[in-house]
Amino acid sequence: MVLTTRVDKVEQRRLELAESALRTLGDLGYARTGLREIAANSPFSHGVVHYYFHDKIELITFCVRHYKTICSRRYDDAVASATTPQGLVDDVVAIMSRTLLDDAALHRLWYDLRTQSIFEPGLREDVRDIDLLLQAMVGRIVARAVELGAGQALVDEATAYAAVDGLFEQALVAASRGDDAAQEAATLLGRRVAALLRSIVA
């Protein structure tokens, strides 16, 4: 596709800047991330940010929206291909432990921005959208476990999501203490999510 309209090129630049912003936010956190730092992690100078985005908030919002396209379908293959409840839990837990280690910056960014949304109303709607997407993701896992005969769901979708999410955030905080701690956190996360899932669908 050589034919790139002007609109396409603009959208591509916005994506480039968003990727750079995601990297920077995941590294430094929202409180310490400035527009210049984001631009420094991109091929452009700091002025260009305001050429493609009206606001800092608009850029961050764009980032958060971009994030959801990366995350929310992560377990779909495992859900589709599982044949036993045991196998489903094993696969899900393996993916979760791996993404904790591989995509740590992305996850750090997500929890940071979700917390920021408490103080910054401009972020709330987008954060809420993603939360619902992630909740549906967990819901599909639970529903599939029920379908495979693991039992019945003892809590609703929102409760299951919040509980699993709590475990993931706990692991992410623990993983920030260093490489060894991250490895251990990933192992514990796997065990704990498995135990929890078996408790809430039985």
Partner DNA sequence: GAAAAATCTTGACAACTGTCCAGAGCGTCC
Partner DNA sequence: GGACGCTCTGGACAGTTGTCAAGATTTTTC
- List contacts with a copy of itself (CB under 8 A): 28-32, 108, 111-112, 114-120, 124, 127, 131, 154-156, 158-159, 161-167, 169-170, 172-173, 176-177, 188, 192, 195-196, 198-200, 202
Q: Which residue from 115, 72, 61, 99 is spatially nearest to 175, judged by alpha carbons? A: 99
- Per the DSSP assignment, residues forming a β-bridge with 201 are 153
Using CB under 7 A as the criterion, which residues of the chain lie in contact with DNA when the complex forms? 6, 9-10, 13, 32-37, 43-52, 54-57
CB of 100 to a copy of itself, least distance (A): 13
Locus of tokens 């916005």: 14
108 interacts with, out of a copy of itself, DNA, none, CB within 5 to 8 A per kind: a copy of itself
Dihedral angle computed from the Cα positions of residues 125, 101, 194 and 166, in that order, rounded to the nearest 10 degrees: -40
13 interacts with, out of DNA, a copy of itself, none, CB within 5 to 8 A per kind: DNA
- Per the DSSP assignment, residues forming a β-bridge with 153 are 201
Closer CB to a copy of itself, residue 34 or residue 47?
A: 34
Closer CB to DNA, residue 5 or residue 152?
A: 5
> How many Cα atoms within 13 Å fall on the side-chain side of residue 125?
5
> How many Cα atoms within 13 Å fall on the side-chain side of residue 115?
9
132 interacts with, out of a copy of itself, DNA, none, CB within 5 to 8 A per kind: none
CB of 56 to DNA, least distance (A): 4
> At a CB cut-off of 8 Å and minimum separation 6, what does 169 contact?
111
CB of 43 to DNA, least distance (A): 7
Closer CB to DNA, residue 63 or residue 150?
A: 63
Closer CB to a copy of itself, residue 15 or residue 173?
A: 173
6 interacts with, out of a copy of itself, DNA, none, CB within 5 to 8 A per kind: DNA
- Under the phi-then-psi rule, with left for phi > 0, alpha for psi from -120 to 50, and beta for the rest, what region is 149? left
10 interacts with, out of a copy of itself, DNA, none, CB within 5 to 8 A per kind: DNA
**Distance, CA of 23 to CA of 185 (rounded, Å):** 22
For 98, the 3-state DSSP assignment is helix
